Each structure stands twice: as C-alpha cells, then as structure tokens.
Chain A
Amino acid sequence: MCIAMPGKIVELDGMKAKVDFKGTVVNVNVGLIDAKVGDYALVHAGCAIEIMAKDKAEELIELFESLEM
C-alpha cells in the first residue's frame, strides 16, 4: 500500500507532471510538492509525495557516516 518509487520529472504543467521511471513515463499529480523539471520525485499511487534530496549512492554514504561506532 505504501510502495513509492522515485522518478525524474521531465515535464510540468501546473499540478500535473510527466515522470520518467527508467524509460516509462507516467502522469503524476505534483500537488503535494514544489516541483521543478529535473527533480527526482517519490511517487505513490500516481501522486508525488516528496522530492528526493540526493541520489541514492550519496544518501547511503551519508547514512553510514552518521551511524555510531
């Protein structure tokens, strides 16, 4: 139910966007985020729920840096 996938915003028109999920482009509502073309949005049930701040590799590096030894 709470599955969400990151995809790249390739087109924007008000509250609607086209999001590219590795080649598959889908219509997505962006009413819950401040979207820009080029952003990576986390999409759930046809709705973007957040902008992903960093790419995955960078995020995981920072995550492990923060873990206590």
Chain B
Amino acid sequence: MMEISQVINYLKEYNGPEIKLMEVCGTHTASIFKSGIRSLISPEIKLISGPGCPVCVTPTSYIDKCIDYAMMENHVLVTFGDMIKVPGQSASLSGVKGEGAKVEIMYSPFEVIEKATTNPNITYVIAAVGFETTAPVYALVIEEAIEKGIKNIKLLTSLKTVIPALEWICENEEEIDGFICPGHVSVIIGSEAYAELAKKYKKPFSVAGFEPEHILAAIYDLVRQIEEAGSENKHEKENTVNRFGTEDKTKTVHNLYKNAVKTEGNQKAIGILNKYFDEGPAMWRGLGIIGGSGLYLKTKYEEFDGGSAGLDLDKELPEGCCCGQVIVGRLNPNDCSLFGKACNPTNPYGPCMVSSEGACGIWYRNI
C-alpha cells in the first residue's frame, strides 16, 4: 500500500518527459488550487483545465433567450447564481434587472415547483444549464410538475454531456496524455463510460473525488499508467516505442472514487435522463458544435420546453480574450494578456472569468 507521503514524493521526484494531464471539472480546478497540489508535484507534470464549466461553454444566444424570457410579461426567469453576470450579445441577466427584467436565483430547481404552484398566472422558465450531474435534477422537476398537473414551468436547456467533449479533446488536442475525470458527473454516468475513449485513444482516465488525497492518487495513477504503458503520439503512429522507451499498450479507466462512483453509474438517474431527453448537437464555446453532446426534452414533453434547440449563435469573444483556448487547455489563464488586468471578476471580458467554475475566475481567486 502507498502512503500519501510516498505518492507526493514520487510525483515531486518525477523527472521524465513532460506529462500533460487534463482535469476536466471546474470543481477539480478549485480543489487543486485550494490544496496547493501544483506546488507539491514536479514541474514536468502539467495540470491543464478542461471544458468542465457548463456556464463557460454556453453561447451568447442562450443568454439572449434567457433575457427575452425575463423581459416577457407574466414570465420569470429562474437561474443559478453564476449565470447572471455572463454577457449575452449586449447585456447580462443582472444588467437587465434594472430595466424591469424578472430574474430569480435558485439554489435548487425544485424551488420552482412551489413558485409555480403559488403563482399559476406566471410562467417560470428555468435556465437549465449543466452536465449529467444536474440534468437528472431538471428531469425530476418536470416529473413532479406532470404529477401535480403544473403547466406553468418551462426548461430552457443548455445541457451538455462530457463524453463527446472529451472525444473532441482527444481528437483535437494531442498533447493531453491523460484525464482526471469529473467526480460527480461520473457518479451519474459511471466509470465504464470512459472505457471506449481510453481504448480508442490509448490514454488513461482516472475518476477522482475532490479531496486532495483523491486528486493526488489520481495524478499518481495516471503518471504510473503513462510511464508503464506509454502515451500514443499521433505523429509517431508507426513507431510502437514511445518517448518513455516502452511499447504502447492499451490504457484504461481507473475508478478512484468508489465511495460514490459505481462502474455502471446511477441507473435511476440514467433512466430518468433517457425518459425525458434526446441527444442532439450542442454549441460549446471555444470548441464549436459537437454532435450528440446536448440533451433536449423529448417531443412528448415539448410543452415544458422553452425553445432550447438551435441556440448556437455565439458572439465573438472580445479582442484579446483567450477563453476559447483556456477552455481546451491550450493556454493557462495567466497566459492571457488580459488576465488580472483588464479582465478580472469585477470586470470580466469572457465567461471563464465570470463563472464560479471557470478556470480564469478560479485562478484569479487563488494565485
């Protein structure tokens, strides 16, 4: 058995070829900073933030539609807090509040059930943003609305699934050697969900929790897999001996968060996702439109949909803003010339600085 001190020592002493690991989830980005993990490990092991911030990858046309609803008579837009400052084409939700827009913050989408029951003449539109962790929660709200005969709730969905995005990263970002999988998305989808990607792209995936010990164990696990089995370099396809001098072998998925993540995931949650949603293309700011990566209410439930399909248009990021590159891990936030100067949480240029899960905001608050 390894002691934590041995794991830290191993990672600190590592002086082999550079390894780039992507931590996909904004909550992992924050945990890594909070525990000072970068200062504990070798500079040859680079931790790169990925597109695991659902707000950051939401296009401006979605925000604009939220604003439309907020301004509409007899409508209230209900949203999680970190959406309200994200800029749309010309304004943010918090910006239009002063013009009479009706925007309410929720801590849980279930709060909308009571609101809708108390005020039957108001249509409550939920800004349903999130990944697989949150998508089942919105589905349960619709289920409860149907059971209670509530008709005045709608979902405006910007729901995305991580596997297609990870596949996009594997196809387009060859430099990433391994992935720290998002812990709570994995609770829903299961650790087995990553197996096909691991096999196809010969990269290791480790599912990690959010304690520093979890994350260090995952980094150690990935580094060991990469060292022992190597990392496929697309440009050296014919060469089976990799930069570590070992032969390429299949990498695999390791579940290091078994307390919460099952191999098969949460089958009830997966069932409810399949009941209420169909897959469709979705626009990821910074990556583009990825087929099959969005979740949309099935036609059967269209009375509860706020017109979520086709919200693909995205205003160009302000000049100098590097959010698009930060989201895919090509740049660290502090590589952007605007970071910490013109762009900061009080005056954000791009979504990565605005959202609580955005890499730029997290870096700004921690470095």
Which of A46, A49, A66 has its CB near the most chain B CB atoms (within 10 A)?
A49
Q: Contacts A31-B268, A32-B268, A49-B184: A2 and B3 contacting too (C-beta < 8 A)?
A: no
Q: In the complex, what distance in Å separates the CA atom of A27 from the CA atom of B108?
A: 10
Q: In the complex, what distance in Å separates the CA atom of A4 from the CA atom of B258?
A: 15
Q: In the complex, what distance in Å separates the CA atom of A65 from the CA atom of B261?
A: 18
Least Cβ–Cβ distance between B79 and chain A, in angstroms: 12
Whether A22 sits at the interface, judged by CB under 8 Å, is no
Least Cβ–Cβ distance between A7 and chain B, in angstroms: 13
Whether B204 sits at the interface, judged by CB under 8 Å, is no
Whether A11 sits at the interface, judged by CB under 8 Å, is no
| Residues A19-68 near B (CB distance < 8 A) | 27, 29, 31-33, 42, 44-47, 49-50, 52-54, 56, 59-60, 62-68
The reply to whether B217 and A53 form a contact with Cβ atoms under 8 Å apart is no
Contacts of B258 in A (CB 8 A): 53, 59, 62-63
Q: In the complex, what distance in Å separates the CA atom of A32 from the CA atom of B182?
A: 19
How many A-B pairs have beta carbons closer than 8 Å: the answer is: 121
CB nearest to B138 among chain A residues:
A45
Q: Which of A47, A59, A69 is the one whose CB lies under 8 Å from B108?
A: A47
Interface size on B, residues (CB 8 A): 52
The reply to whether B53 and A1 form a contact with Cβ atoms under 8 Å apart is yes
Whether B131 sits at the interface, judged by CB under 8 Å, is yes
Q: In the complex, what distance in Å separates the CA atom of A3 from the CA atom of B211?
A: 12
Whether B21 sits at the interface, judged by CB under 8 Å, is no
Which of A3, A54, A63 has its CB near the most chain B CB atoms (within 10 A)?
A63
Contacts of B217 in A (CB 8 A): 63-64, 67
Contacts of A42 in B (CB 8 A): 184, 187, 260
The reply to whether B131 and A1 form a contact with Cβ atoms under 8 Å apart is yes
The reply to whether A2 and B7 form a contact with Cβ atoms under 8 Å apart is no
Least Cβ–Cβ distance between B78 and chain A, in angstroms: 12
CB nearest to B262 among chain A residues:
A50
Contacts of A32 in B (CB 8 A): 136, 140, 266, 268-269, 272
Least Cβ–Cβ distance between A45 and chain B, in angstroms: 5
Q: In the complex, what distance in Å separates the CA atom of A45 from the CA atom of B182?
A: 17
The reply to whether B268 and A46 form a contact with Cβ atoms under 8 Å apart is no
Q: In the complex, what distance in Å separates the CA atom of A2 from the CA atom of B207?
A: 14
Q: For the side of the interface on A, what is the size category?
A: 20 to 34
The reply to whether B27 and A54 form a contact with Cβ atoms under 8 Å apart is no
Q: B210-241: contact bitstring with A at CB < 8 Å (1 yes, 0 no)?
A: 01011001001100100000000000000000
Whether B47 sits at the interface, judged by CB under 8 Å, is no
Contacts of B140 in A (CB 8 A): 29, 31-32, 47
Whether B178 sits at the interface, judged by CB under 8 Å, is no
The reply to whether B184 and A44 form a contact with Cβ atoms under 8 Å apart is yes
Whether B324 sits at the interface, judged by CB under 8 Å, is no
Q: In the complex, what distance in Å separates the CA atom of A64 from the CA atom of B258?
A: 12
22 A–B contacts, CB within 8 A, in A order? A1-B129, A2-B182, A29-B110, A29-B140, A32-B269, A33-B268, A42-B184, A44-B137, A44-B184, A45-B109, A45-B134, A45-B137, A49-B184, A49-B188, A49-B266, A50-B266, A62-B258, A63-B217, A64-B213, A64-B217, A66-B256, A67-B217
B contact residues vs A (CB 8 Å cutoff): 1-4, 7, 25-27, 52-55, 80, 82, 107-111, 129-131, 133-134, 136-137, 140, 143, 182-185, 187-188, 211, 213-214, 217, 220-221, 224, 256, 258-261, 266, 268-269, 272, 356-357
Q: A49-B187, A49-B188 are in contact. List 14 more A-B contacts (CB 8 A).
A: A1-B26, A1-B129, A1-B133, A2-B27, A2-B134, A45-B108, A45-B134, A47-B110, A53-B258, A54-B259, A59-B259, A65-B1, A67-B217, A68-B2
A contact residues vs B (CB 8 Å cutoff): 1-4, 27, 29, 31-33, 42, 44-47, 49-50, 52-54, 56, 59-60, 62-69
